[in-house]
Amino acid sequence: MCEQDVFIDDDLEEGMPLIGDEFPCVEVQTTLGEITLPDDYEGKWFVLFSHPADFTPVCTTEFVAFQKRYEDFRKLNCDLVGLSIDQVFSHIKWLEWIKANLKIEIEFPVIADSTGEIADLLGLIHPGKGTNTVRAVFIVDPTGIVRAILYYPQELGRNMDEILRMVKGLQVADENEVAMPANWPNNELVGEGVIIPPATDVKTAEERVKEYDCFDWWFCHKKI
């Protein structure tokens, strides 16, 4: 739990969290009750994503798309958490509408940030769009560290398969101490292979080309 008995930790420095920062400790109201981020997801990955508003077409397509992939995220030990500057009863009514009209039940929690405090803390307010939140994505690892951040304009719906790929890629990178090539696992040069970190001394550089498949000593790859 957050140490302070406040909605947001007042000791946090101003400015949105960056990649590599600890996700700020916040206590929030959601459609599934109160939760504390990132504490309640300790030991798990989670994706926090914001949407501009309830009862809007693009946001509705995004929620359906996230829900259809929810089991794939959970197989990666990763949960989903939505957020917008709407009151919780608006969230509940919207999710009821989605279930009744689109036959999709949204199972993950949606934060009701009616005061806008979380949006301000995370830098989610869309410039020139009043109080609407941008389509932001924070990928947070099991230790509460922000590992990736995505921002989309209001006009562009997100690609959930890319977000799923990012979570999987980060996990593979962590587990194998490698890097992921472009379009992994369908890279144009190395297919589903992964990139070996470049050598930092002459001896290692010479050994790399014997141990792995390499285009050169600084560009080696392997299958996992």
Cα 73–Cα 144–Cα 85 angle in degrees, nearest 5: 75
Q: Residue 169 in contact with residue 79, Cβ under 8 Å?
A: no
The H-or-E segment that residue 74 falls in is helix 70-75
Q: Residue 179 corresponds to which tokens in the numbers above?
A: 């890097």
How far the first Cα of the chain sits from its last, in Å, is: 38
Letter for the amino acid at 113? Answer: D
Residue with tokens 């997801």: 41
How far is 147 from 58, CA to CA, in rounded Å?
A: 26
- DSSP line for 138-179: EEE-TTSBEEEEEEE-TTS---HHHHHHHHHHHHHHHHHT-B
Q: Which of 59, 78, 214, 220 is catalytic?
A: 59
Q: Is 25 a catalytic residue?
A: no
For residues 109 and 45, give the distance between their C-alpha atoms in angstroms, rounded to a whole number.
15
- Identify each DSSP E strand in 58-201 by its residue range: 78-84, 110-112, 135-140, 146-152, 194-196
Residue 46, burial from CB neighbour count under 10 angstroms (0-12, 13-18, 19+): buried
Which residues are catalytic, by number? 59
